[in-house]
Amino acid sequence: MGAQLRVYKRRIRSVTATKKITKAMEMIAASRIVKAQRQVAASTPYATELTRAVTAVATGSTTKHPLTTEAETPGRAAILLITSDRGLAGGYSSNAIKAAERLTERLRGEGKEVVTYVIGRKGVAYYGFRERKIEDSWTGFTDSPTYEDAKRAAAPLIEAVTQETAAGGVDELHIVYTEFVSMMTQNPVDNRMLPLSLDATKEEGGKGEILPLFDFEPSAEDVLDALLPRYVESRIYNALLQAAASEHAARRRAMKSATDNAGELIKTLSRLANAARQAEITQEISEIVGGASALADATAGSDK
Amino acid sequence: MAAELHVELVAADRSVWSGEANLVVARTTSGDIGVMPGHQPLLGVLESGPVTIRTSDGGTVVAAVHGGFISFADDKLSLLAEIAELADEIDVQRAERALERAKSDTDAASERRAEVRLRAVAVR
Q: Do A147 and B13 touch (CB under 8 A)?
A: yes
pLDDT band at B1 (very low <50, low <70, confident <90, very high): very low
Structural domains present in chain A: 26-251 (3.40.1380.10)
Query: pLDDT tens digits for B20-78?
Result: 998 999 888 888 889 888 888 888 888 888 888 888 888 888 888 888 888 888 888 88
Chain B CB contacts of A149 below 8 Å: none
DSSP string covering A210-266: PPPPPEEES-HHHHHHHHHHHHHHHHHHHHHHHHHHHHHHHHHHHHHHHHHHHHHHH
**Interface contact A210, partner B, CB < 8 A:** no
Mutation target among B70, B80, B85 for the A interface, most CBs of A within 10 A = B80
pLDDT band at B3 (very low <50, low <70, confident <90, very high): confident
pLDDT band at A281 (very low <50, low <70, confident <90, very high): very high
**Interface contact A183, partner B, CB < 8 A:** no
A to B CB pairs, distance under 8 Å: 88
Helix axes B92-105, B108-123, angle to 10 degrees: 150
Averaged pLDDT, A83-89? 89
Averaged pLDDT, A25-33? 93
Q: How far apart are CA B115 and CA B99, in angstroms?
A: 7
CB B51 within 8 A of CB B79: yes
Q: What rounded mean pLDDT belongs to chain A?
A: 86
Q: Do B12 and A45 touch (CB under 8 A)?
A: no
* Whether residue B122 has pLDDT greater than 80: no
pLDDT band at A248 (very low <50, low <70, confident <90, very high): very high
Q: What is the pLDDT of residue A60?
A: 65
* Whether residue A73 has pLDDT greater than 80: no
* Whether residue A101 has pLDDT greater than 80: yes
State if pTM tops 0.90: no
Q: CA nearest A53: which of B35, B69, B84?
A: B69
Q: Do A146 and B13 touch (CB under 8 A)?
A: yes
Edge to edge, the sheet with strand A186-194 lists A136-138, A113-119, A76-82, A172-180, A186-194
Chain B CB contacts of A205 below 8 Å: none
Share of chain B above pLDDT 70, in %: 95
Q: Do A223 and B44 touch (CB under 8 A)?
A: yes
Amino acid at A104: T
Chain B CB contacts of A61 below 8 Å: none
More confident residue, A207 or B6: B6
Total Cβ atoms within 10 A of residue A154: 22
Which ipTM was obtained for this model? Answer: 0.77
Mutation target among A35, A46, A225, A237 for the B interface, most CBs of B within 10 A = A46
B67/chain A closest Cα distance in angstroms: 10
Q: What is the pLDDT of residue A300?
A: 83
3-state helix, strand, coil in chain A (%, to 5): 65, 10, 25
Q: What is the pLDDT of residue A104?
A: 93
Q: Which residues contact A115 (CB under 8 A, 6 or more apart)?
A: A76, A77, A78, A79, A133, A135, A160, A170
